[in-house]
Amino acid sequence: MIRNIRIRQWRAYDDATIDLDYPVVFFVAENGVGKSSFFEAARCCLLGFPNGRAAARAVRANADRAELSMELALGDDDIINVTRTLTRTGRATFSASRNGVTLDENTYLSTLQTTWAADNPLIDRLMFGDPGASRSNAPLPIRDHLAELLGVTPMLDAAATLRLAQAGAHSRVATVREAANASADEAAVREAAVDDAREVLSAIVAERDAA
């Protein structure tokens, strides 16, 4: 659960802290107030900037950089604080801590994945659900996610290994059959040559007898 988010020098926001005190929060306002900007800020703070130079356009005019901070509650006493900054040139920084212990970005993202039982592209789609702004046009990894969630990934991996072994066995059988067919053809040719030789020998014997 996102407890709060602070937005500084981001689009229409100069410096705003928004507390999210309930599991479900609705934002209702006129167009142009900053609902979409808040949505985008939350997404970028949680999962990172999709493209530094493109995202840098969100830095507020006359500001050198934007700063997004968020407090996440993974449990009653499990708190993550994450801060991301973005300069006008597209340079991004990241810092985070979990209950006071510093996290690098890979550990942070892995923590989200483990806590929510979903990889980051799936988290992105399910939480923010905007295909046009998605960081990837690849299909949702629903099959892999469900397999991991249900604990059947090792079985699927074993099945894939067996399919590869089966394909290799079929290939070897085909090779042996081709060799066998070639041997059979060669044997037929030799047998025909023997028959021809026998006919020639019979003719020679007949001529000899006649002589």
Contact status, residue 63 vs residue 74, Cβ threshold 8 Å? no
Asked whether 42 and 16 are in contact (CB, 8 A), the reply is: no
The mean pLDDT value for 13-27 works out to: 87
Q: Give residue 132's pLDDT.
A: 46
Cα atoms in the 13 Å half-sphere on the side-chain side of 95: 7
Higher pLDDT, 113 or 84: 84
Q: Which amino acid is at 46?
A: L
Burial class from Cβ neighbours inside 10 Å (0-12, 13-18, 19+) for residue 4 reads: middle
CA distance 107 to 96: 10
Residue 113 parent element (H or E):
helix 105-116
Tell me the pTM: 0.60
pLDDT tens figures, 144-193 = 666 666 677 788 788 888 888 888 877 887 887 787 777 777 777 778 77
pLDDT in tens, 110-142: 898 888 877 777 778 777 775 444 445 555 556
pLDDT of residue 46: 92
Section 47-67 average pLDDT: 83
User: What's the pLDDT at 119?
Assistant: 74
Q: What is the mean pLDDT of the chain?
A: 82
In this structure, are strands 92-98 and 78-87 parallel, antiparallel, or unpaired? antiparallel
Of the chain, the percentage scoring pLDDT greater than 70 comes to 88
